[in-house]
Amino acid sequence: MVEVPSRGATIAAWREQGGGIAAVFPIHHPRALWRAYGLLPVEVWGPPVTDTSRGDARLQAYTCSVVRCGLAFLESGGLEDVDLVVVPHACDSLQGLGSLLLDFAPPRQPVITPYIPRTRDAAAAEFLAHELRSVGLRLAEITGHQPDAAAVMACNQAEAQADRQRLALFEARRHLPLTNLEFYRLVRAREYLPAQDFAALAQAALAERIDEALPGPGVMLSGLLPEPMALLGVLDRAGAVVVADDYACSGRRHYRAGSSDEPWLNMAQSLLAGPPDPTLGHPIAQRVDHLVQACQSAGVDAVIFHGVKFCEPERFDLPMVQAGLQARLGLPCVDLEVDLASPLGHQAVTRIEALVEGLS
Amino acid sequence: MSLLASARYHLNVDLIGNGFLRYERRKLERKLANPRPHPHLGPPLVTAAELKELISRHYLKGRYASGHKPVAWVTSGAPVEFLQALGFFLLYPENHGAVCGIRRKAEEYCSAAEDLGYSRDICSYARTDIGSVMTGKTPVGTLPRPDLLVCCTNICQTVLYWYRVLAEHFGCPLVIIDTPFVYDSASDHSVAYVLRQIEQAVEVAERVAGRSLEPDKLRQVTQLSRDAVDLWMQVLERCRHRPAPMTAFDAFIQLAPIVEMRGEDFAVGYYQRLLAALDQRIADGVWALKDERLRLVWDNLPIWHRMRWLGERFAERGVALVASTYTNAWGELAPLIDPAHPLESGARTYLHAILNRSTGHKLNVIKGLVSDYQADGVVLHSDRSCKPYSVGQIDQRGRLVGAEGVPALLLEADHNDPRSFSEEQVAARLDAFLEILES
């Protein structure tokens, strides 16, 4: 089994090479951009089960726990060693977080808040290319790096390769001798490993592919992120295999490579070419089509909607997505809602166990 | 468009409806001429009957619009001038949501949406609207089915998720006008992006309406929009007078034409008469409160389902809400509107809506209102249903109380869902705050 380097070890190794670290909040962001300026993007999804009191001092209780945990982590010194804080515009709560950090609670590091468009036509790509260029100018001031077009394009290609490898891992999931927990530790390493390292790691994991398919009912997970990760342990114990993924942190970030020869436009095109995502304004019907296709090709037997409380983009889509999957595939669906600041509740465990038992 | 639908529209709106509404207006005007004295509140505004007629006529037109005019459902902060110029009937689901809130129907519609799987944690305007759409219930008769949905994200991202649900339900085109959030100042590429989207929206709207946009008509509508917004700002500024001739509670209601009828000549006419009425009140010494002792600024949306209760509670303590960031938002952008360049100036104007700007900018707006309206304090409505307005309020309050020395209260509620409102808790917090101010 491949060994997944830890976040801490990765950061230390990167630092040793003289690189900087960018702490990046969810969801979509141009990994190639930070890399072009010598920064390693390390994503901050929560982190879960954090004491949120520092975040609660600035955010109302009805703000989602991804943001409350993230702010609490930052305010309690968890991001002290990074060189840059990035809060991409993803939703109203993350918008508020970015604004708070700029206006009222500035960390010691610079804060950058790139805007990711909600449309996907040529005008959106052009806007995003401009936006990325202007962030690049800011990064040049911060880091002193001045990458040329070829260097930016090389970063785009490296990230595209890593994205392809992550997608390959999901496609081969039934044949990878890994538990759900091990599999997600592997794919989530994309959140902090340099693209080249992740691609190599994924390649090594794919080399261990076995001929026979892993037994057990196939499950699709949908939501923001697989936290608390105890959920995956519950699925392992119940004998289910996560064969398809619609998490914002993973399955909704299988970006296709850009087509332009101009590196900034290429980067923008890629960022706009991910699977349907409610935060990016894709029509719900398009999302349902995508999920139906994913369920069919992966052999999904049930879907677990695993949302974070107060996350509007997930909650708005849920009734129509659930109805669409049930109408077209007759799949049983379970809706779990969690708060990242709390461990996985017994009720959730029981519901997952009952779901999988019903499939066996 | 069908001849039959047009005939039905003219019969029900122009002949029967208008006559009935005029009769109702006269009846209300007679009643308002001799109002029942209130122990704490001044007499109602003399334009109240006309406003009621305007709003009723708007929904009456909507009831018979299908087939007679193209119908667009739009977000409240969307650029609507091109739609007006193309002859669309415009329906604002948020305004309809507020009407449902005031008429105590929101809880029923929210519950209906929740029964369909929509979480109680999503915006109560959206739940009210989705519940109303799915059940067909509304306190305004009938809502016309949209031919087009226009969603501008300058007020929140929630509308993006909400309008996608509507698009799915109605199966009509959805135009998204995506306005990059202005953390500091709007970049040129953001303005260009919004302009391009408005131009694309015009193309879609032209196809739906089956006619081309006439530049002169657009300029004329934009001029009317600008005039109404200018007048609205003047209306609000009359509350700088001490004592104030009306309060923010009045302004929340008077807001309807600037939101729903922006670009219409009768909105301009109405605000001219409202302004004259306020000037008359100032000249006659007629005030919103019989004994104004304290002046406050309100931040965030109103609590629609408790307007009367809150209004009377403040009034009995001699507290006038003299300004609000919410009503101010509809007037502050007037200087950006340029009728000579309607689309270009529209891109810049609609990008700078208060909810598309930073938490620091909002604090500056509050500070400006406190100073301009000589307010003694601020009430920040922490609105469970409006995250873009509410996130940042804890720090804003901290800055007001600390660096500015302005007393400020954070009040937890929800603009449309009465189940997220505790009358006892709000009363206790308000009383404690007012005691501090009075001491």
Q: Which A positions 283-322 lie with beta carbon below 8 A of chain B?
A: 283-285, 309-310, 312-313, 315-320, 322
Please give the pLDDT value at position A51.
Answer: 83
Taking all residues of chain B, what is their mean pLDDT, rounded to a whole number? 96
Closest chain B C-alpha to A45 CA, distance in angstroms:
19
Please give the pLDDT value at position A137.
Answer: 98
Q: Do B193 and A127 count as a contact with CB atoms less than 8 A apart?
A: yes
Cα nearest neighbour of B181 on chain A: A115
State the residue for tokens 């519940």. B131
Which helix (H) or strand (E) segment holds residue B73: the answer is strand B71-74
**Interval B265-281: pLDDT, tens:** 999 999 999 999 999 99
Q: How far is CA A258 from CA A127, A157, A202, A239, A265, in A?
A: 15, 9, 22, 39, 8
Does A279 touch chain B if contact means CB atoms closer than 8 Å? yes
Strands B319-324 and B294-299: parallel
CA–CA distance, B276 with B245 (Å, rounded to integer): 12
Q: How far is CA A253 from CA A153, A249, A322, B5, in A?
A: 19, 7, 21, 48
Residue B117: is its pLDDT beyond 90?
yes
Task: Spell out which residues of chain B touch residue A326, defining contact as CB-CB under 8 Å.
Answer: none
What DSSP character marks residue B357?
B
Please give the pLDDT value at position B73.
Answer: 98
Please give the pLDDT value at position B333.
Answer: 86
Does B16 touch chain A if contact means CB atoms closer than 8 Å? no
Task: Spell out which residues of chain B touch residue A63, defining contact as CB-CB under 8 Å.
Answer: 387, 391
Closest chain A C-alpha to B121 CA, distance in angstroms:
6
Q: Do B180 and A102 count as a contact with CB atoms less than 8 A apart?
A: no
Six-digit token string for A97:
């977080």
Q: Which A positions 91-130 lie with beta carbon below 8 A of chain B?
A: 91-93, 95-100, 102-105, 113, 115, 117-119, 121, 123-124, 126-127, 130
CA–CA distance, B176 with B193 (Å, rounded to integer): 12
A113 φ/ψ angles, rounded to the nearest 5 degrees: -130, 75
Please give the pLDDT value at position A48.
Answer: 81
Task: Spell out which residues of chain A touch residue B394, defining contact as CB-CB under 8 Å.
Answer: 57-60
Domain count across chain B: 1
Please give the pLDDT value at position A23.
Answer: 98
Residue B1: is its pLDDT beyond 80?
no
**Residues with pLDDT less than 50, chain A:** none
Please give the pLDDT value at position A331.
Answer: 95
| A6 φψ region: left (φ > 0), alpha (ψ -120 to 50), beta (else) | beta
Range of the domain at B211: 3-438
Please give the pLDDT value at position A139.
Answer: 98
**Interval B356-413: pLDDT, tens:** 999 999 999 999 999 999 999 999 999 999 999 999 999 999 999 999 999 999 999 9
Handedness of CA B40, B46, B50, B51 (dihedral sign): negative
What is the CATH number that goes with domain A7-143? 3.40.50.11890
Q: Do A105 and B183 count as a contact with CB atoms less than 8 A apart?
A: no
Cα nearest neighbour of B151 on chain A: A281
- Residues contacting A262, CB < 8 A, separation 6+: A129, A149
Please give the pLDDT value at position A49.
Answer: 72
State the residue for tokens 């890593």. A162
Please give the pLDDT value at position A53.
Answer: 87
